Chain A
Amino acid sequence: KQEVTQIPAALSVPEGENLVLNCSFTDSAIYNLQWFRQDPGKGLTSLLLIQSSQREQTSGRLNASLDKSSGRSTLYIAASQPGDSATYLCAAPSNTGNQFYFGTGTSLTVIP
């Protein structure tokens, strides 16, 4: 069974700082890895999908990397803003692809 871990559980940074969120997974035979953002009381918003053949994926100030051999993915947020404050979750699909395993998330607070 795939296990997904996110460290740290919480992170607080001043506005403007660059930061990295970490995601580890145990089964490297994954199709892809997805990053999501969740605001309090809301559903999940998809941020980035990295296919297993890719090493990086970028969207605006976000850059996600995937290293299957080490079982790691990182989400890099450049020039953080208070509006980036949210919980960030990563998810890896099962080997059948019809189920996703989620990490417990990193709660990010960007201080103005």
Chain B
Amino acid sequence: KAGVTQTPRYLIKTRGQQVTLSCSPISGHRSVSWYQQTPGQGLQFLFEYFSETQRNKGNFPGRFSGRQFSNSRSEMNVSTLELGDSALYLCASSLASDGTDTIYFGEGSWLTVV
């Protein structure tokens, strides 16, 4: 079956712009989470959604937001982009949202802010 799909794979934005990233989870998975990966900070948790509800949010400014649709697809948005937002943004899905199941990651969206 298809894995986690993230679009776009690569994008370049200018400071001050906003960006929307999309994630389609594995069919049947209702939990979707987002992570930011940078060389200096490693993988940092952004937020997790289950059945269209945000259940947890990491320590990121309000410029970072997300949502989940009824078909479990998720989007994350970053407004007023800063240079420090340049990173690999990874989406993961799992069957349950209680940490008992394997989480599966997409290939990520590479964001460069110039």
Q: Given the known inter-chain contacts A42-B107, A42-B108, A96-B56, please indicate yes or no for A102 contacting B42, CB distance below 8 A.
A: yes
- Measured as residues with beta carbon below 8 angstroms from the partner, the interface class of chain B is 20 to 34
Given contact pairs A32-B100, A43-B90, A99 touches B42 in the complex (Cβ within 8 A) = no
Are the C-beta atoms of A104 and B42 separated by less than 8 Å? yes
Contact A98 B105 (CB under 8 A): no
In the bound complex, how far is the Cα of B107 from the Cα of A81, in angstroms? 23
Q: Are A31 and B98 touching (Cβ within 8 A)? A: yes
User: What sequence of 0s and 1s flags, for each residue 46-80 of chain B, a beta carbon within 8 Å of any chain A beta carbon?
Assistant: 00101000011010000000000000000000000
- Tally of contacts, chain A with chain B, CB under 8 A: 69
B24 interface residue per 8 A CB criterion: no
The distance from the CB of B11 to the nearest CB of chain A, in whole angstroms, is 15
Interface size of A in residues (CB-CB distance below 8 Å):
26
Interface of B is mostly: strand
Within 8 A of B (CB), among A57-105: 89, 91, 93-94, 96-105
For residue A7, CB closer than 8 A to chain B, the reply is no
From B110, which residue of chain A is reached at the shortest CB distance?
A41
Asked if A46 CB lies within 8 Å of chain B CBs, one says yes
Cβ–Cβ contact B56 & A46, under 8 A: no
A54 on interface, CB distance cutoff 8 Å: no
In the complex, the answer to whether A98 meets B102 with C-beta atoms within 8 Å is no
A residues in contact with B56, CB < 8 Å:
94, 96, 98-99
Partner of A45, one of B48, B50, B58, B105: B105
**Distance of A56 from chain B, by nearest CB (Å):** 17
Closest to A103 in B: B42
Beta-carbon nearest neighbor of B99 in chain A: A97
Which 8 interchain pairs have the tightest Cβ spacing? Answer: A97-B99, A93-B99, A97-B98, A102-B43, A44-B105, A43-B105, A43-B107, A98-B48
